[in-house]
A and B are shown apart, each in its own frame.
Chain A
Amino acid sequence: MTRGRNGVAAAVLVVTAAIMGAPAAQADAGQGPPVSVYTDPAPRPVAEEKAVEVVREALRQSGTPAPVSSSLLRSGAVVRPSAPPPARPKPTEARRRAPRVQLVTAASVSLTERGLTPTIRAGVASPRDQDVREPIVVVLVAAALALAGAAGAIARR
């Protein structure tokens, strides 16, 4: 009987190993590749360069190409109309019509001054809210009560 059960268990394990060893795509219905990046981030420089490319593409799409760098994106940048370029001899019609923008670093933007919702300040950003500390005595009292209760209940048995 025991040998029989172990045989069944062995069979389950062998099937398990076989299935786990087989590529997931083999039995695929042909729709959609398996998950590949959910936990597989690109290295930081590669990711930052990718972000720069996306921003360049977005600016190009809207017909307003402007210089972009990863360091600028790291600190955050506001896109603003740029000052008109110096007068050039015989600018083309297209150049005169093209809107021009520049990315201005947003380092000076203050979260509190910019009228953020209280949620942002309380939720993540405000140092004041990060300093919320409760009297340690409350935690100790709670822990002591819990342990005393558990110990008392056990001792009664």
Chain B
Amino acid sequence: MLIGVEATWAWLVQPQRSLAATTVVLAPGLAALPFLPRELRRLPFAVPAVPVVGVVLAQVVLVGAAALAVPLDPLGVRLTLAGVAVAGLIGGILLPTPAFGAPPERWPSVLLGLAAVVGLGIAMQWRILGSRPIPGEDWGEYLLYAQEIARRHSLLIDNPFWMLGGDSFPLDPGAPSLYGATLALADAPAASLLQGIWVFAVLGILSLFVFVGTLWGSRAGLVAAAVYAVVPMNLNVLSWHGLPTVDAFVIIPVALLATGMALRGEAGRRWAAVLAVALVGLAAAHRVGFLLGAVAVAFVLAVALVRQPRPTVRFMAWTAVFGIVAGAGVAVDLVQRTLALGGVQGYEAFLPTKVHWDLVARDVTWPLTVAGLAALALVVLGPWFRRDASRFVLLGLGATILALSYAWLVHLPTSYNRASYLAPMLLAASLGLLASRLPVRVVAPLAALLVGVTALEARSLATDYRRFYSHVDAASLKGLGYVSQRARPGDAVVTDQCWSFLSTWLLQRPVLAALDPALILPKRELEPVAKARRILYGRDGERLAATLGVRYALVDPLCTYQTGRPFGPPASGHLVYASTRLLVFDLATDGQTSSR
């Protein structure tokens, strides 16, 4: 029905971005309802579960369909979503309805509480995303990818500008598939999705509520979601625009929930399907997120295997079957995408991303860190929780954070500090579980105090984050306008890390980027990065720039490597524009010729 309304509105009136986005996210979620386990179809959990499941399923379906040559144009997207809806209708008719009693009497107040928590989260996120231009480096690349998907109706496409153009987009396809589908339906400019990450950030709160609430009750879910909504570290991810990371954090709680049910011995085929779709969705959404989620699931299922070998083996077998069915298309996409990357760098390149725990504690806030770790110790060791095997999910999550933070010990090449971004999820869930066993009169004031203190700390930290990542401001936009005015068609630019992704979108011309080696994933980028570094800092920079058609250098005077070392001004060219966050150098050897 939703798909029909969207299509009719687009046909009779005009395409609408909000309606298109709602359709892309909600239609698969509503269609999946008959297939969901009964725990997720109960109120109050069904309401937040619909968009969460929807966003996971939409990515799986769209990435899979695109890999199987379905064009991501308006017709292709609508037919794909309609296919899911028809499957849902058939499932609703054919599948047996699991019996479950009446919903708890207090479900309206729980939903009201959840709405308040989401409102609190939006208010916190507003400090990062509330005004344009938003901070961060990565959004330029995601908008460009979305624009190209909508224009070329495919996910496996070349980036026309990155590293002088020609290589395929190395980005994870999950969130971009949703962006591209939305643009295809809405016929809107990609810039309209500038703040699209906000949807994922809100869904992350809902997802954590579903995870914790389904396992340990509404009160646990509300406390966990409230804490999670105000953690500064989550705002940090938004400030550098970690779209796939935020997307992955919508999906990981779903996978953890399914493993929690397996630990309890209550997971049948429906939960196996949920876990399978979550893992496939995670693979589509974010490579590092998939690594984190898969390791966490492996830890928890290992515990489940020890406790209940036979049901767990059956659960894992069903998960594998559903995973193969749901993930075939996504696998096709990821294999092609991975082959094009030319492999990844050795672990040494990622050593600067080692976790600094004092910074993690500061970004989580010290009161929350202490309270959360104390709660974790209590729920794992305390006598109240001995009968609930699902508490081992938290131990698995903690083990994952540690294992991947120190994965450099076994030379695993990955960005190690990304594991610490799971800390808010672990601590919030631990506090939620603890809250479920304490009297309300104790929980309410303590939770309010903790959330209040954390939110206050988050307010000031959010200001710092926003300032740190605010490369784009009025003055730097003037500088980009100046470059656009001076540059001839086809002139390329060379940038430091901070202006790399932003320049591709904002200038829409070829870019050669001297990326921080610790932030390079595809090995194929090492060579162009070395060229960019030679242009910026080598002795023959201007000559090489002339050979490659690079005319301008764009650097942020405050840009630093992961180690804190500044990028510094280039050794080549002469300064033609200066602002606090953007310096523009003309690399022409006859510097005066381009001056106006």
Contacts and interface: CB of A to CB of B under 8 A. Distances in A.
Interface of A: 2, 6, 9-10, 12-13, 16-17, 19-20, 24, 27-29, 31-41, 44, 47-48, 50-51, 54-55, 57-59, 61-62, 64, 68, 70, 72-81, 103, 106, 109, 111, 114-117, 119-120, 122-125, 129-130, 132, 134-135, 138-139, 141-143, 145-147, 149-150, 153-154, 156-157
Interface in B483-512: 484-485, 505-508
Given A70-B580, A123-B194, A124-B477, A150 B381 contact: no
Given A51-B580, A120-B506, A138 B132 contact: no
B91 to A, nearest CB: 11
A50 B386 CA distance: 56
B355 A146 contact: no
A153 B386 contact: no
Given A119-B505, A153-B33, A51 B356 contact: no
B526 interface: no
Contacts of B558: 47, 50-51
Interface in B456-505: 464-465, 467-468, 472, 474-482, 484-485, 505
14 contacts: A6-B381, A19-B402, A24-B354, A32-B563, A51-B581, A58-B575, A61-B569, A109-B481, A123-B133, A123-B143, A135-B16, A141-B19, A154-B43, A157-B97
A119 B508 contact: yes
Contacts of A74: 475, 579-580
B113 interface: no
B380 interface: yes
Given A24-B355, A35-B353, A116 B480 contact: yes
Given A58-B585, A78-B576, A36 B481 contact: no
A88 B571 CA distance: 32
B401 to A, nearest CB: 9
Contacts of B92: 153, 156
Contacts of A154: 33, 41-43, 46, 103
A6 B575 CA distance: 65
A6 B377 contact: no
A138 B521 CA distance: 41
Given A10-B381, A109-B478, A16 B398 contact: yes
Given A27-B409, A115-B481, 11 more contacts: A24-B354, A32-B354, A55-B583, A117-B484, A124-B194, A141-B19, A146-B2, A146-B30, A153-B92, A154-B41, A154-B42
Nearest to A150: B50
A106 B477 CA distance: 11
Contact of B481 (A9, A57, A114, A122): A114
Contact of A125 (B133, B485, B508): B133
A54 B580 CA distance: 10
B17 interface: yes
B577 A134 contact: no
B351 interface: yes
B578 interface: yes
A47 B478 CA distance: 20
B580 A73 contact: yes
A122 B189 contact: yes
Nearest to B232: A39
Nearest to B389: A5
Given A38-B562, A124-B132, A116 B481 contact: yes
B298 to A, nearest CB: 15
A120 B484 contact: yes
A101 to B, nearest CB: 8
Given A19-B406, A55-B583, A117-B508, A145 B5 contact: yes
A19 B583 CA distance: 43
Nearest to A2: B386
Interface of B: 1-2, 5, 9, 16-19, 22-23, 26, 30, 33-34, 41-43, 46-47, 50-51, 92, 97-98, 100, 103, 132-133, 143, 189-192, 194, 236, 348, 351-357, 359, 362-363, 373, 376-377, 380-381, 386, 392, 395, 398-399, 402, 406, 408-409, 417, 464-465, 467-468, 472, 474-482, 484-485, 505-508, 518, 557-558, 560, 562-564, 566, 568-571, 573-583, 585, 595
B507 to A, nearest CB: 7
A146 B50 contact: yes
Given A6-B386, A19-B406, A48-B580, A54 B477 contact: no
Q: Is the interface of A mostly helix, strand, loop or mixed?
A: helix
A76 B478 contact: yes
Contacts of B189: 122, 129
A147 B481 CA distance: 45
Given A134-B18, A147-B47, A79 B575 contact: yes
Contacts of A10: 381
Nearest to A80: B595
**Best-buried of B236, B357, B373, B472 by chain A (most CB within 10 Å):** B357
A50 B564 CA distance: 14
B562 A55 contact: no
Nearest to A22: B357
Given A32-B352, A35-B359, A111-B477, A77 B578 contact: yes
Contact of B2 (A17, A58, A64, A145): A145
B579 A134 contact: no
Contacts of B398: 12, 16
Contacts of A48: 580
Given A78-B576, A106-B482, A123-B191, A54 B395 contact: no
A150 B51 CA distance: 10
Nearest to B506: A120
A79 B575 CA distance: 7
A54 B508 contact: no
Contacts of B574: 62, 64, 79
A139 B26 CA distance: 13
Contacts of A132: 192
Contact of B351 (A31, A47, A146): A31
Nearest to B415: A35
B135 to A, nearest CB: 11
Given A12-B395, A124-B132, A55 B563 contact: no
Nearest to A71: B580
B78 to A, nearest CB: 15
B46 A55 contact: no
Nearest to A42: B558
A61 B23 contact: no
A68 to B, nearest CB: 7
Contacts of B5: 141-142, 145
Given A12-B399, A29-B408, A34 B50 contact: no
Contacts of A20: 357, 402
B1 A153 contact: no
